[in-house]
């Protein structure tokens, strides 16, 4: 089973309110990723966990937080949502990392901030 699951599939949030997105995989993959995708743009890596170590991209360091309580689950947390956070959020996992392993993507969570 190569399924990555994401919840919820759709999320409506108010400006200034927190948002928590959930991802799970049962492939025992070491690495889990979060991407942000806006219309007509390429998916953009926000952060990833390799085992228990979190790596955040420099330009998103303060905007997103994450936790990985166990190998299967990973969350993406926005403390105070702004209009610019409206996007599709894609979770992915891979057995290893270093960009050469196949990443398996979930269906995404569409976030709309009003």
Partner 1 sequence: GDSVTQTKGPVTLSEGTSLTVNCSYETKQYPTLFWYVQYPGEGPQLLFKVPKANEKGSNRGFEATYDKGTTSFHLQKASVQESDSAVYYCVLGGASGSWQLIFGSGTQLTVMP
Residues within the interface to partner 1 (CB under 8 A):
4, 31, 33, 40-43, 45, 48, 50, 55, 57, 90, 92, 97-108
In contact, 55 and 45? CB cutoff 8 Å: no
Q: Closer CB to partner 1, residue 14 or residue 73?
A: 73
Q: Closer CB to partner 1, residue 92 or residue 113?
A: 92
From CA 85, how far away is CA 96, in angstroms rounded? 29
Main-chain dihedrals φ then ψ at residue 71, nearest 5 degrees:
-60, -30
The least distance separating partner 1 from the CB of residue 93, rounded to whole angstroms, comes to 11
């Amino acid at each position: 089973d190569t399924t990555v699951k994401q919840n919820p599939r759709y999320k409506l949030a108010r400006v200034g309110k927190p948002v928590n997105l959930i991802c799970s995989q049962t492939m025992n993959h070491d690495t889990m990723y979060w991407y942000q995708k806006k219309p007509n743009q390429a998916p953009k890596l926000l952060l990833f966990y390799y085992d228990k170590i979190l790596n955040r991209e420099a330009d998103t360091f303060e905007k997103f937080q994450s936790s990985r309580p166990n190998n299967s689950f990973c969350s993406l947390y926005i403390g105070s949502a702004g209009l610019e956070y409206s996007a599709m959020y894609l979770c992915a996992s891979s057995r290893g990392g270093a960009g050469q392993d196949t990443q398996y993507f979930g269906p995404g969570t569409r976030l709309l901030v009003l």
